[in-house]
Amino acid sequence: MPQKSNLQKHNEYIDIKESDTAVLFIHGIIGTPRQFDFLINEMPQNISVYNMLLSGHGKGVKNFSAASMKSWESEVHNALEFLRKNHRRIYICGHSMGTLLAIDEILKDKKGIEGLFLLQIPLYVHLSLKMIKDIFTILFGNVKEKSSAYYTENSYGIEKDKRLWLYVPWLPRYIELFIKKRKVRKRIKETNIPALAFQSEKDELVKIKSYRFLIKNSPFKTFLLNNSGHFYYGSDSTFIKDKFLDFIKEKARS
């Protein structure tokens, strides 16, 4: 039987202010809006927030299988169109797949986009043994507080289910992700918009090759996080928060 858990924490968060500045947050594949709490909690009160929940997330394994990259693209586009109605300046903050969705969308239309704040861009990926171990610990074992599995579990936006065969229909979602990353990689030089990128040296899912590619081929200002994983930032979190606030505060107005 599926394990029971409270998925209310994965609800999207929308707080629209009388402001000309907004930030759109886009989580990654099987992720959650809660991954951005550490940034949203530090934001100026006069900036609108749209922390979206992509379809298929915040629900069960079968719900995720029924979603698609096309639906996620449409949802990001619609969220930006919503923000453009009342905001002249929009920043996009993305994690993992969310960074690809953000980059792909602004390649189509940069209107009103002031800048990108990108965490763990998955241009080249792998599945480390550590991540495999953490996944099985989350599904079948005892997750110890503050362990790597603990942070991975807190960033996981799908109802846990021990019936492994139910995950087979997820394969098309990951094929779509691979197609998306190749598309973004080919066109990243065209982005031509202020952007900060943060890549983790010890990322369990994104190869360090992604960081090297960004340094050589992208217009982004790119930072290497020495004390972070894919979901865990440790002592790097203060650095990320400071950069984020500096990035958005400059032009924010009430």
pLDDT 10s digits, 214-235: 999 999 999 999 999 999 998 9
Q: Is residue 124 part of a domain?
A: yes
Amino acid, single-letter form, for residue 54: L
Q: Taking the CA of residue 170 as centre, how many other CA atoms within 13 Å lie in the half-sphere pointing to its CB? A: 16
Q: Give the global pTM.
A: 0.93
The CATH number covering residue 23 comes to 3.40.50.1820
**Structural element, H or E, at residue 225:** strand 221-225
Amino acid, single-letter form, for residue 213: F
Q: Is residue 164 part of a domain?
A: yes
Please give the sequence-ordered ranges of beta strands (E in DSSP) within the chain, or none if there are none. 13-15, 21-26, 48-51, 89-95, 113-119, 195-200, 221-225
Q: Taking a C-beta distance cutoff of 8 angstroms, is the pair 100, 121 a contact?
A: yes
Q: Is residue 81 part of a domain?
A: yes
> Which tens digits make up the pLDDT trace of 98-151?
999 999 999 999 999 999 999 999 999 998 998 889 888 988 888 898 888 898
The fraction of the chain above a pLDDT of 90, given in percent, is: 74
Encoding tokens for residue 98? 């969310």
User: CB atoms < 10 A from the CB of 39, how many?
Assistant: 21
Mean pLDDT of the chain: 91
Q: Is residue 2 part of a domain?
A: no
Encoding tokens for residue 63? 């719900």
The fraction of the chain above a pLDDT of 70, given in percent, is: 95
Q: Is residue 47 part of a domain?
A: yes
**Domain total for the chain?**
1
35 pLDDT more than 80: yes
Structural domain of 129: 8-249
206 pLDDT more than 90: yes
Q: Is residue 156 part of a domain?
A: yes
Q: Is residue 254 part of a domain?
A: no
pLDDT at site 252: 52
Of residues 11 and 254, which shows the higher confidence score?
A: 11
End-to-end CA distance of the chain: 50
- Alpha-carbon distance of 120 to 102, in angstroms, equals 13
> Which tens digits make up the pLDDT trace of 139-198?
888 889 888 889 888 899 898 889 999 999 999 999 999 999 999 999 999 999 999 999
pLDDT at site 237: 95
Q: Is residue 3 part of a domain?
A: no
